[in-house]
Amino acid sequence: MITPGKEAGAALLSILLIVATLSVAAVMATGVIARQTELQKLSVRRTHALWAARSAESVALASAADLFAASRLPASDTGEDPSRTLALPLDGGQIVLTLSAQAPCFNLNSLGNPDPALRAQHMQNFEILLADIGLPGGDAARVSATLADWIDADPAPLPLGGEDAAYLGQDSGFRAASQPLLSPAELAVLPGFTPDLRRALSAFTCTLDSPDAARLNMNALTADSAPVLRAATGGRLSLAEARRLIEARPVSGWPDVQAVRTAADRLPGAGEALAGLPLEVRSEHFTGTGTVNLDTGSWPFRFILRAGDGAAPEIIWRRFGGAA
């Protein structure tokens, strides 16, 4: 027989257990609610930051005509930074935006040109660039073929390249992209593109939304970017000859492409080397990089703007919240 005292003790123990269980549940629920609230706040702030980055793009688009006109000014060999940095006020923070013209570059996506003859020519030009920055010839040919197979749409591997089978056998297998690069950062997954090589290439290459060679702004070339001009000519100009042509630029810059070709005709072999090359005296691609600083958070963003005579400016690539 259970005595009344024992029954009361058992009931009290049951009540205490229920209260303890409810307390633990309440604490857990409070923690979950707090985390969900914080996540919701973070999501709202990120959304605000995203739209702030889009606003920065609108500022760049509105400034496109001025950027295009200013890109005819000759580049300086003194290392002076020609970019423009703006601080845009924002409720609860600010946007810091830096706009700069795309430096003369070799378009990595030209290695995926659908025309086999053009693709072979672009690969040869890329190998010249690789050799000029110090990569041995055999390695340059292998790296060039690897990138071409990674970008092109066909499944047939080049002799020194590799398609899906070259990557599926790895521990974490994957397929070749078979599409243009969105960013040079994608080179990191390709064999042969070591960190040192990627750093060396960063000053001379870009990833444009076209399988064609980049149009070179002759007013933006410097002695340091002579390898880009030499590669564009398929090696018909030596580095010394490329630098001489760049140094022949007027102090106020080339007024038009014909002026460039006239000056090149005065230098031995330069006129023939430039024949047929897509030249410009202004830039048509501009890069915007910046951060949205909102409350205690900071969100990086990057975009590429295309502008030109008679064409409406447009954003052709963007990334928000991550490395470019």
Q: Which pLDDT does position 46 carry in this prediction?
A: 85
**Which residues lie closer than 8 Å to 87 by C-beta, 6 or more apart?**
94, 95, 96, 97
Question: Which of the pair, 26 or 215, is modelled with greater confidence?
Answer: 215
**CATH fold of the domain at 108-204:** Ribonucleotide Reductase Protein R1; domain 1 (1.10.40)
What mean pLDDT is predicted for residues 70-91? 81
| Token pair 């750093």 in the structure block, residue | 199
Beta bridge partners of 85: 98
Q: What CATH architecture is 63-102+284-320?
A: 2-Layer Sandwich (3.30)
DSSP letters, 201-221, are HTTTEE--SSSSPPPEETTT-
**Which residues lie closer than 8 Å to 59 by C-beta, 6 or more apart?**
86, 88, 97
Give pTM, 2 decimals. Answer: 0.81
What mean pLDDT is predicted for residues 50-71? 92
Q: Which pLDDT does position 324 carry in this prediction?
A: 47
The average confidence (pLDDT) of the chain is 88
Domain ranges across the chain = 63-102+284-320, 108-204, 223-278
